[in-house]
Structure 1
Protein backbone atom coordinates (compact mmCIF):
# COMPACT_ATOMS: atom_id res chain seq x y z
CA UNK A 1 0.00 0.00 0.00
CA UNK A 2 1.41 3.39 -0.97
CA UNK A 3 1.74 6.36 1.35
CA UNK A 4 -0.81 8.24 -0.72
CA UNK A 5 -3.49 5.66 0.02
CA UNK A 6 -3.59 6.74 3.70
CA UNK A 7 -4.05 10.42 2.96
CA UNK A 8 -7.87 10.41 2.73
CA UNK A 9 -8.15 8.70 6.12
CA UNK A 10 -5.73 11.16 7.74
CA UNK A 11 -7.58 14.03 6.04
CA UNK A 12 -10.91 12.83 7.40
CA UNK A 13 -9.42 12.37 10.89
CA UNK A 14 -7.93 15.88 10.95
CA UNK A 15 -11.20 17.34 9.70
CA UNK A 16 -13.19 15.54 12.41
CA UNK A 17 -10.71 16.67 15.09
CA UNK A 18 -10.90 20.28 13.87
CA UNK A 19 -14.69 20.24 13.90
CA UNK A 20 -14.90 18.65 17.37
CA UNK A 21 -12.43 21.12 18.91
CA UNK A 22 -14.03 24.03 17.07
CA UNK A 23 -17.52 23.11 18.24
CA UNK A 24 -16.28 22.68 21.81
CA UNK A 25 -14.67 26.13 21.74
CA UNK A 26 -17.80 27.58 20.15
CA UNK A 27 -19.98 26.07 22.90
CA UNK A 28 -17.72 27.58 25.57
CA UNK A 29 -17.83 31.05 23.98
CA UNK A 30 -21.61 30.93 23.59
CA UNK A 31 -21.94 29.74 27.18
CA UNK A 32 -19.83 32.62 28.44
CA UNK A 33 -21.90 35.08 26.42
CA UNK A 34 -25.15 33.66 27.79
CA UNK A 35 -23.78 33.78 31.33
CA UNK A 36 -22.96 37.46 30.89
CA UNK A 37 -26.50 38.13 29.64
CA UNK A 38 -27.83 36.45 32.78
CA UNK A 39 -25.46 38.54 34.89
CA UNK A 40 -26.66 41.64 33.04
CA UNK A 41 -30.28 40.95 33.99
CA UNK A 42 -29.23 40.22 37.59
CA UNK A 43 -27.22 43.45 37.85
CA UNK A 44 -29.99 45.53 36.31
CA UNK A 45 -32.44 44.08 38.82
CA UNK A 46 -30.04 44.75 41.70
CA UNK A 47 -29.47 48.36 40.63
CA UNK A 48 -33.22 48.91 40.28
CA UNK A 49 -33.79 47.46 43.76
CA UNK A 50 -31.12 49.66 45.34
CA UNK A 51 -32.41 52.77 43.55
CA UNK A 52 -35.93 52.07 44.75
CA UNK A 53 -34.77 51.59 48.33
CA UNK A 54 -32.60 54.70 48.45
CA UNK A 55 -35.41 56.84 47.03
CA UNK A 56 -37.89 55.63 49.65
CA UNK A 57 -38.78 57.50 52.85
CA UNK A 58 -36.68 56.85 55.98
CA UNK A 59 -38.08 54.15 58.22
CA UNK A 60 -37.84 53.89 62.00
CA UNK A 61 -35.29 51.51 63.41
CA UNK A 62 -37.98 49.03 64.47
CA UNK A 63 -39.14 48.68 60.85
CA UNK A 64 -35.58 47.97 59.70
CA UNK A 65 -35.21 45.31 62.39
CA UNK A 66 -38.46 43.73 61.25
CA UNK A 67 -37.22 43.67 57.64
CA UNK A 68 -34.01 42.00 58.75
CA UNK A 69 -35.91 39.35 60.69
CA UNK A 70 -38.22 38.67 57.75
CA UNK A 71 -35.89 38.90 54.74
CA UNK A 72 -32.36 38.86 56.18
CA UNK A 73 -31.50 41.90 54.07
CA UNK A 74 -31.64 45.60 54.97
CA UNK A 75 -28.96 46.94 52.64
CA UNK A 76 -29.58 50.55 51.49
CA UNK A 77 -32.91 51.00 53.28
CA UNK A 78 -33.16 54.57 54.62
CA UNK A 79 -33.44 54.61 58.41
CA UNK A 80 -33.90 57.19 61.14
CA UNK A 81 -32.77 56.58 64.71
CA UNK A 82 -31.67 58.44 67.82
CA UNK A 83 -29.18 57.91 70.59
CA UNK A 84 -25.95 59.06 72.18
CA UNK A 85 -22.59 58.49 70.53
CA UNK A 86 -20.00 56.66 72.60
CA UNK A 87 -16.93 58.19 71.01
CA UNK A 88 -14.49 56.23 73.16
CA UNK A 89 -15.47 53.18 71.14
CA UNK A 90 -14.60 54.57 67.68
CA UNK A 91 -13.55 51.88 65.22
CA UNK A 92 -11.52 52.90 62.16
CA UNK A 93 -12.10 51.27 58.76
CA UNK A 94 -9.43 51.82 56.08
CA UNK A 95 -11.03 53.61 53.14
CA UNK A 96 -10.61 56.04 50.28
CA UNK A 97 -12.93 58.95 49.68
CA UNK A 98 -12.81 61.27 46.68
CA UNK A 99 -9.24 60.22 45.88
CA UNK A 100 -7.94 60.55 49.44
CA UNK A 101 -6.95 57.72 51.78
CA UNK A 102 -7.94 57.59 55.41
CA UNK A 103 -10.60 55.96 57.55
CA UNK A 104 -14.33 55.67 57.95
CA UNK A 105 -15.21 56.31 61.59
CA UNK A 106 -17.61 53.73 63.03
CA UNK A 107 -18.95 54.90 66.39
CA UNK A 108 -21.23 53.00 68.77
CA UNK A 109 -24.57 54.78 69.14
CA UNK A 110 -26.28 53.99 72.44
CA UNK A 111 -30.02 53.72 71.85
CA UNK A 112 -32.66 54.68 74.41
CA UNK A 113 -33.27 51.01 75.25
CA UNK A 114 -29.59 50.40 76.03
CA UNK A 115 -28.72 48.56 72.83
CA UNK A 116 -25.96 49.74 70.50
CA UNK A 117 -25.54 50.17 66.75
CA UNK A 118 -22.31 50.90 64.88
CA UNK A 119 -22.78 54.07 62.84
CA UNK A 120 -20.42 54.99 60.03
CA UNK A 121 -20.21 58.71 60.73
CA UNK A 122 -17.99 59.38 57.71
CA UNK A 123 -14.44 59.89 56.49
CA UNK A 124 -11.36 61.35 58.17
CA UNK A 125 -7.86 61.57 56.61
CA UNK A 126 -4.93 59.55 57.94
CA UNK A 127 -3.48 62.33 60.06
CA UNK A 128 -6.79 62.87 61.84
CA UNK A 129 -7.39 59.26 62.86
CA UNK A 130 -6.92 60.18 66.51
CA UNK A 131 -10.20 61.59 67.81
CA UNK A 132 -8.26 64.12 69.91
CA UNK A 133 -7.26 65.93 66.69
CA UNK A 134 -10.91 66.66 65.81
CA UNK A 135 -12.70 67.43 69.09
CA UNK A 136 -15.37 69.60 67.45
CA UNK A 137 -16.83 66.57 65.71
CA UNK A 138 -17.20 64.52 68.90
CA UNK A 139 -20.78 65.60 69.42
CA UNK A 140 -22.38 65.07 72.83
CA UNK A 141 -25.92 64.40 73.96
CA UNK A 142 -28.82 62.68 72.28
CA UNK A 143 -28.71 62.95 68.48
CA UNK A 144 -31.17 62.29 65.69
CA UNK A 145 -29.44 60.29 62.93
CA UNK A 146 -30.57 59.61 59.38
CA UNK A 147 -28.78 57.31 56.96
CA UNK A 148 -28.79 53.96 55.22
CA UNK A 149 -28.88 50.54 56.85
CA UNK A 150 -26.09 48.25 55.69
CA UNK A 151 -25.86 44.49 55.97
CA UNK A 152 -23.17 42.86 58.05
CA UNK A 153 -20.41 40.91 56.33
CA UNK A 154 -20.26 37.27 57.44
CA UNK A 155 -16.66 36.64 56.42
CA UNK A 156 -13.53 38.06 54.88
CA UNK A 157 -14.47 38.93 51.28
CA UNK A 158 -11.33 37.46 49.71
CA UNK A 159 -7.90 36.08 50.60
CA UNK A 160 -6.07 39.09 49.15
CA UNK A 161 -7.62 41.47 51.66
CA UNK A 162 -5.43 42.21 54.71
CA UNK A 163 -6.48 40.88 58.09
CA UNK A 164 -8.16 43.24 60.50
CA UNK A 165 -5.95 44.57 63.28
CA UNK A 166 -8.24 45.29 66.26
CA UNK A 167 -5.28 46.08 68.54
CA UNK A 168 -4.28 48.99 66.29
CA UNK A 169 -7.93 49.80 65.61
CA UNK A 170 -7.58 49.32 61.86
CA UNK A 171 -10.19 47.29 60.01
CA UNK A 172 -10.11 46.29 56.34
CA UNK A 173 -13.42 44.46 56.25
CA UNK A 174 -16.53 45.01 58.34
CA UNK A 175 -16.31 42.26 60.93
CA UNK A 176 -19.11 43.49 63.18
CA UNK A 177 -18.24 41.00 65.91
CA UNK A 178 -14.60 42.07 66.13
CA UNK A 179 -15.49 45.75 65.89
CA UNK A 180 -18.03 45.45 68.69
CA UNK A 181 -15.77 43.31 70.89
CA UNK A 182 -12.80 45.67 70.56
CA UNK A 183 -14.78 48.89 71.03
CA UNK A 184 -14.87 48.56 74.81
CA UNK A 185 -18.46 49.79 74.87
CA UNK A 186 -21.04 47.24 75.97
CA UNK A 187 -20.86 43.57 75.04
CA UNK A 188 -20.89 42.23 71.45
CA UNK A 189 -24.39 40.87 72.06
CA UNK A 190 -25.66 44.41 72.76
CA UNK A 191 -25.04 45.49 69.15
CA UNK A 192 -27.66 45.32 66.43
CA UNK A 193 -26.58 42.91 63.64
CA UNK A 194 -26.23 45.59 60.95
CA UNK A 195 -24.55 48.94 60.40
CA UNK A 196 -25.89 52.39 59.63
CA UNK A 197 -24.13 54.77 57.24
CA UNK A 198 -24.92 58.33 58.32
CA UNK A 199 -26.11 60.77 55.67
CA UNK A 200 -24.20 63.88 54.58
CA UNK A 201 -25.52 66.17 57.32
CA UNK A 202 -22.45 68.24 58.32
CA UNK A 203 -20.69 67.50 61.59
CA UNK A 204 -19.27 70.30 63.74
CA UNK A 205 -15.77 71.14 62.54
CA UNK A 206 -16.48 69.37 59.25
CA UNK A 207 -15.31 65.94 60.43
CA UNK A 208 -16.09 63.17 59.94
CA UNK A 209 -17.35 63.86 56.42
CA UNK A 210 -20.67 62.03 56.21
CA UNK A 211 -22.58 60.61 53.28
CA UNK A 212 -19.84 58.21 52.19
CA UNK A 213 -22.02 55.26 51.15
CA UNK A 214 -20.87 53.90 47.80
CA UNK A 215 -23.80 53.14 45.52
CA UNK A 216 -21.99 53.20 42.17
CA UNK A 217 -22.30 49.71 40.70
CA UNK A 218 -20.49 49.27 37.38
CA UNK A 219 -22.47 47.28 34.84
CA UNK A 220 -20.24 46.09 31.99
CA UNK A 221 -21.95 42.76 31.41
CA UNK A 222 -23.45 43.84 28.07
CA UNK A 223 -19.98 44.65 26.71
CA UNK A 224 -18.68 41.31 27.99
CA UNK A 225 -21.59 39.46 26.37
CA UNK A 226 -21.00 41.21 23.04
CA UNK A 227 -17.31 40.31 23.27
CA UNK A 228 -17.96 36.61 23.88
CA UNK A 229 -20.67 36.38 21.22
CA UNK A 230 -18.41 38.27 18.80
CA UNK A 231 -15.60 35.79 19.37
CA UNK A 232 -18.07 32.96 18.85
CA UNK A 233 -19.18 34.50 15.55
CA UNK A 234 -15.55 34.96 14.46
CA UNK A 235 -14.74 31.35 15.32
CA UNK A 236 -17.79 30.14 13.41
CA UNK A 237 -16.63 32.18 10.40
CA UNK A 238 -13.11 30.75 10.57
CA UNK A 239 -14.47 27.21 10.83
CA UNK A 240 -16.79 27.79 7.88
CA UNK A 241 -14.03 29.17 5.65
CA UNK A 242 -11.64 26.38 6.62
CA UNK A 243 -14.22 23.66 5.95
CA UNK A 244 -15.23 25.26 2.65
CA UNK A 245 -11.62 25.35 1.48
CA UNK A 246 -11.15 21.80 2.72
CA UNK A 247 -14.14 20.68 0.69
CA UNK A 248 -12.92 22.57 -2.40
CA UNK A 249 -9.41 21.08 -2.23
CA UNK A 250 -9.09 17.60 -3.71
CA UNK A 251 -8.08 14.89 -1.23
CA UNK A 252 -5.23 13.70 -3.42
Structure 2
Protein backbone atom coordinates (compact mmCIF):
# COMPACT_ATOMS: atom_id res chain seq x y z
CA UNK A 1 0.00 0.00 0.00
CA UNK A 2 1.47 3.34 -1.02
CA UNK A 3 1.19 6.45 1.14
CA UNK A 4 1.15 9.86 -0.38
CA UNK A 5 2.76 12.68 1.62
CA UNK A 6 1.64 16.16 0.81
CA UNK A 7 4.05 19.06 1.42
CA UNK A 8 2.27 22.36 1.80
CA UNK A 9 5.16 24.40 0.38
CA UNK A 10 7.69 22.17 -1.47
CA UNK A 11 11.20 23.64 -2.04
CA UNK A 12 10.71 23.88 -5.79
CA UNK A 13 7.67 26.09 -5.33
CA UNK A 14 8.86 28.26 -2.42
CA UNK A 15 8.52 31.91 -3.16
CA UNK A 16 11.78 33.71 -3.69
CA UNK A 17 12.39 37.14 -2.17
CA UNK A 18 11.11 39.87 -4.37
CA UNK A 19 13.46 42.21 -6.18
CA UNK A 20 12.50 44.97 -3.78
CA UNK A 21 13.53 42.87 -0.76
CA UNK A 22 16.80 41.87 -2.44
CA UNK A 23 17.53 45.49 -3.22
CA UNK A 24 16.92 46.48 0.40
CA UNK A 25 19.28 43.76 1.60
CA UNK A 26 21.98 44.82 -0.83
CA UNK A 27 21.66 48.46 0.16
CA UNK A 28 21.80 47.42 3.82
CA UNK A 29 25.04 45.55 3.11
CA UNK A 30 26.44 48.62 1.34
CA UNK A 31 25.49 50.80 4.28
CA UNK A 32 27.09 48.40 6.76
CA UNK A 33 30.30 48.29 4.73
CA UNK A 34 30.35 52.09 4.46
CA UNK A 35 29.95 52.33 8.23
CA UNK A 36 32.96 50.03 8.70
CA UNK A 37 35.00 52.21 6.34
CA UNK A 38 34.04 55.31 8.30
CA UNK A 39 34.87 53.61 11.59
CA UNK A 40 38.35 52.51 10.48
CA UNK A 41 39.03 56.00 9.10
CA UNK A 42 38.04 57.59 12.42
CA UNK A 43 40.21 55.09 14.33
CA UNK A 44 43.15 56.06 12.13
CA UNK A 45 42.58 59.74 12.90
CA UNK A 46 42.35 58.91 16.62
CA UNK A 47 45.69 57.07 16.51
CA UNK A 48 47.26 60.04 14.72
CA UNK A 49 45.91 62.33 17.45
CA UNK A 50 47.40 60.02 20.09
CA UNK A 51 50.76 60.18 18.32
CA UNK A 52 50.68 63.98 18.29
CA UNK A 53 49.67 64.04 21.96
CA UNK A 54 52.58 61.82 22.97
CA UNK A 55 54.97 63.81 20.81
CA UNK A 56 53.94 66.88 22.80
CA UNK A 57 54.64 65.02 26.04
CA UNK A 58 58.04 63.96 24.71
CA UNK A 59 58.81 67.61 23.98
CA UNK A 60 57.89 68.45 27.57
CA UNK A 61 60.20 65.69 28.83
CA UNK A 62 63.03 67.04 26.68
CA UNK A 63 62.39 70.52 28.08
CA UNK A 64 62.63 69.13 31.64
CA UNK A 65 65.92 67.42 30.86
CA UNK A 66 67.33 70.62 29.38
CA UNK A 67 66.85 72.49 32.65
CA UNK A 68 69.84 73.00 34.96
CA UNK A 69 70.70 70.27 37.44
CA UNK A 70 68.60 70.45 40.60
CA UNK A 71 69.83 69.58 44.10
CA UNK A 72 67.27 67.40 45.85
CA UNK A 73 67.15 66.35 49.50
CA UNK A 74 63.47 65.85 50.35
CA UNK A 75 60.08 65.10 48.85
CA UNK A 76 59.08 63.49 45.56
CA UNK A 77 61.27 64.90 42.77
CA UNK A 78 59.84 65.96 39.41
CA UNK A 79 60.07 63.19 36.80
CA UNK A 80 62.61 63.40 33.98
CA UNK A 81 64.58 66.15 35.73
CA UNK A 82 68.33 65.84 36.24
CA UNK A 83 68.87 65.73 40.01
CA UNK A 84 71.81 65.73 42.38
CA UNK A 85 70.67 63.84 45.46
CA UNK A 86 71.59 64.83 48.99
CA UNK A 87 71.67 62.17 51.66
CA UNK A 88 73.48 58.86 52.04
CA UNK A 89 73.93 55.58 50.23
CA UNK A 90 72.60 52.38 51.82
CA UNK A 91 75.07 49.87 50.31
CA UNK A 92 74.02 47.09 52.68
CA UNK A 93 70.66 46.95 50.84
CA UNK A 94 72.05 46.94 47.30
CA UNK A 95 70.34 44.42 45.00
CA UNK A 96 71.13 42.99 41.58
CA UNK A 97 68.48 42.40 38.96
CA UNK A 98 69.25 39.16 37.15
CA UNK A 99 69.13 38.35 33.42
CA UNK A 100 69.61 41.88 32.07
CA UNK A 101 70.93 41.83 28.50
CA UNK A 102 73.17 44.53 27.06
CA UNK A 103 74.88 44.24 23.67
CA UNK A 104 74.03 40.53 23.59
CA UNK A 105 75.60 39.83 26.99
CA UNK A 106 73.75 38.79 30.12
CA UNK A 107 74.52 40.62 33.35
CA UNK A 108 72.90 42.46 36.22
CA UNK A 109 71.44 45.86 36.95
CA UNK A 110 72.99 47.27 40.12
CA UNK A 111 70.28 49.02 42.12
CA UNK A 112 71.45 50.73 45.28
CA UNK A 113 69.06 52.54 47.63
CA UNK A 114 69.86 56.13 48.52
CA UNK A 115 68.25 57.78 51.54
CA UNK A 116 67.39 61.45 51.22
CA UNK A 117 67.69 63.78 54.18
CA UNK A 118 63.96 63.49 54.88
CA UNK A 119 64.23 59.69 55.07
CA UNK A 120 62.72 58.84 51.69
CA UNK A 121 64.31 55.97 49.80
CA UNK A 122 65.40 56.42 46.20
CA UNK A 123 66.22 53.30 44.20
CA UNK A 124 69.18 54.29 42.03
CA UNK A 125 69.89 52.07 39.05
CA UNK A 126 73.66 52.52 38.79
CA UNK A 127 73.96 50.61 35.51
CA UNK A 128 74.73 47.23 33.95
CA UNK A 129 77.47 45.02 35.39
CA UNK A 130 78.73 41.59 34.40
CA UNK A 131 81.10 39.35 36.40
CA UNK A 132 82.82 38.47 33.13
CA UNK A 133 84.00 42.08 32.78
CA UNK A 134 84.71 42.78 36.45
CA UNK A 135 84.72 40.19 39.24
CA UNK A 136 83.02 42.36 41.86
CA UNK A 137 80.71 45.34 41.39
CA UNK A 138 82.23 48.68 42.39
CA UNK A 139 80.83 50.25 45.58
CA UNK A 140 78.43 53.16 45.48
CA UNK A 141 80.32 56.31 46.48
CA UNK A 142 80.02 60.02 45.95
CA UNK A 143 76.95 62.11 45.25
CA UNK A 144 74.59 60.46 42.77
CA UNK A 145 73.28 62.32 39.75
CA UNK A 146 70.09 60.74 38.49
CA UNK A 147 67.10 61.28 36.26
CA UNK A 148 63.92 60.38 38.11
CA UNK A 149 61.72 58.07 36.05
CA UNK A 150 58.48 56.10 36.42
CA UNK A 151 58.85 52.72 38.04
CA UNK A 152 59.97 50.11 35.51
CA UNK A 153 57.78 47.16 34.63
CA UNK A 154 59.22 43.70 34.94
CA UNK A 155 57.62 40.38 34.03
CA UNK A 156 58.04 37.47 36.41
CA UNK A 157 56.31 34.20 35.56
CA UNK A 158 56.44 32.92 39.13
CA UNK A 159 57.30 33.92 42.66
CA UNK A 160 61.04 33.41 42.22
CA UNK A 161 62.85 33.30 45.57
CA UNK A 162 65.54 35.86 46.31
CA UNK A 163 69.04 34.42 46.07
CA UNK A 164 71.37 36.50 48.21
CA UNK A 165 71.11 39.94 46.61
CA UNK A 166 69.80 38.68 43.28
CA UNK A 167 66.23 39.66 42.46
CA UNK A 168 64.25 38.82 39.36
CA UNK A 169 62.35 42.11 39.37
CA UNK A 170 61.98 45.29 41.36
CA UNK A 171 59.11 44.44 43.69
CA UNK A 172 58.92 47.27 46.23
CA UNK A 173 57.14 45.37 48.97
CA UNK A 174 59.46 42.39 48.66
CA UNK A 175 62.50 44.63 48.68
CA UNK A 176 61.34 46.57 51.77
CA UNK A 177 60.70 43.34 53.68
CA UNK A 178 64.09 41.94 52.63
CA UNK A 179 66.09 45.09 53.42
CA UNK A 180 64.09 46.08 56.55
CA UNK A 181 63.62 49.55 55.12
CA UNK A 182 60.70 51.79 54.26
CA UNK A 183 59.06 51.22 50.90
CA UNK A 184 60.99 53.22 48.25
CA UNK A 185 59.16 56.14 46.72
CA UNK A 186 61.42 57.15 43.79
CA UNK A 187 63.26 55.36 41.01
CA UNK A 188 66.06 56.92 39.00
CA UNK A 189 68.72 56.15 36.42
CA UNK A 190 72.25 57.22 37.35
CA UNK A 191 73.88 59.54 34.84
CA UNK A 192 77.42 58.61 35.89
CA UNK A 193 78.77 55.08 36.21
CA UNK A 194 82.00 53.91 37.88
CA UNK A 195 84.64 51.86 36.12
CA UNK A 196 83.29 48.39 35.36
CA UNK A 197 79.64 49.50 35.16
CA UNK A 198 77.94 50.63 31.97
CA UNK A 199 75.44 53.47 32.35
CA UNK A 200 71.93 52.84 31.11
CA UNK A 201 70.01 54.89 28.62
CA UNK A 202 66.95 56.65 29.89
CA UNK A 203 63.74 54.84 29.07
CA UNK A 204 61.61 56.57 26.46
CA UNK A 205 58.30 57.18 28.22
CA UNK A 206 56.17 57.16 25.08
CA UNK A 207 56.44 55.38 21.75
CA UNK A 208 55.07 57.62 19.01
CA UNK A 209 55.92 55.28 16.13
CA UNK A 210 53.54 52.64 17.42
CA UNK A 211 50.55 54.95 17.04
CA UNK A 212 51.66 55.98 13.57
CA UNK A 213 51.81 52.30 12.59
CA UNK A 214 48.33 51.74 14.03
CA UNK A 215 46.98 54.73 12.11
CA UNK A 216 48.46 53.43 8.86
CA UNK A 217 46.94 49.99 9.50
CA UNK A 218 43.46 51.46 10.06
CA UNK A 219 43.70 53.60 6.93
CA UNK A 220 44.81 50.65 4.83
CA UNK A 221 41.73 48.81 6.05
CA UNK A 222 39.67 51.88 5.09
CA UNK A 223 41.15 51.89 1.59
CA UNK A 224 40.44 48.19 1.16
CA UNK A 225 36.88 48.73 2.42
CA UNK A 226 36.34 51.50 -0.13
CA UNK A 227 37.59 49.17 -2.87
CA UNK A 228 35.15 46.44 -1.79
CA UNK A 229 32.29 48.93 -1.49
CA UNK A 230 32.83 50.22 -5.02
CA UNK A 231 33.01 46.73 -6.50
CA UNK A 232 29.86 45.61 -4.68
CA UNK A 233 28.03 48.80 -5.64
CA UNK A 234 28.95 48.46 -9.32
CA UNK A 235 28.01 44.77 -9.35
CA UNK A 236 24.66 45.61 -7.76
CA UNK A 237 23.94 48.35 -10.31
CA UNK A 238 24.99 46.11 -13.19
CA UNK A 239 22.71 43.33 -11.97
CA UNK A 240 19.70 45.60 -11.83
CA UNK A 241 20.47 47.06 -15.28
CA UNK A 242 20.57 43.54 -16.74
CA UNK A 243 17.27 42.55 -15.17
CA UNK A 244 15.60 45.74 -16.29
Range class of TM-score, shorter chain: 0.7 to 0.9
Which one of the candidate residues 203, 220, 237 is aligned to 1:214? 203
Name which of structure 1's ranges 99-108 and 171-180 shifts more when overlaid on structure 2: 171-180
Separation in 2, partners of 1:9, 1:31: 33
8 Å contact 1:163–1:172 — kept in the other structure?
A: no
Partner deviation per Cα, 1:134-179 (whole Å, 9 max, x = no partner): 15x1145xx21111012346xxx58x64346452244454333322
8 Å contact 1:92–1:106 — kept in the other structure?
A: yes
Separation in 2, partners of 1:196, 1:49: 18
Which residue number in structure 1 is paired with residue 232 of structure 2? 242
Which one of the candidate residues 36, 44, 55 is aligned to 1:33? 44
Task: Give the TM-score normalised by structure 1.
Answer: 0.74
**1:112-123 equivalent positions in 2, closer than 5 A:** 112=117, 115-123=120-128
**1:194-233 equivalent positions in 2, closer than 5 A:** 194-199=186-191, 201-203=192-194, 206-215=195-204, 217-220=206-209, 221-233=211-223
Partner deviation per Cα, 1:162-213 (whole Å, 9 max, x = no partner): 346452244454333322332x2x5225x4x1112111x341xx23322443
Task: Give the TM-score normalised by structure 2.
Answer: 0.76
Given the superposition, is the C-alpha separation of residues 43 and 241 from structure 1 closer, same or farther in structure 2, using an over 3 Å criterion? same
Partner deviation per Cα, 1:30-89 (whole Å, 9 max, x = no partner): 2321221122122212211221122222212147x355xxxxxx3321110144433221
Q: Secondary structure at the match of 2:204?
A: coil
Given the superposition, is the C-alpha separation of residues 49 and 177 from structure 1 closer, same or farther in structure 2, using an over 3 Å criterion? farther
How many angstroms does 1:123 deviate by?
Answer: 0.6
Which residue number in structure 1 is paired with residue 145 of structure 2? 146
**1:180-199 equivalent positions in 2, closer than 5 A:** 180-182=176-178, 184=179, 186-189=180-183, 191=184, 193-199=185-191
8 Å contact 1:40–1:222 — kept in the other structure?
A: yes
Separation in 2, partners of 1:19, 1:58: 61
Structure 2: segments with no counterpart, 5+ residues? 1-12
Which one of the candidate residues 52, 64, 72 is aligned to 1:53? 64
Which residue number in structure 1 is paired with residue 106 of structure 2? 101
Q: CA RMSD in A?
A: 3.3
Given the superposition, is the C-alpha separation of residues 115 and 43 from structure 1 closer, same or farther in structure 2, using an over 3 Å criterion? closer
Tell whether 2:73 aligns with 1:79: no
Which one of the candidate residues 127, 130, 138 is aligned to 1:125? 130
Structure 1: segments with no counterpart, 5+ residues? 68-73
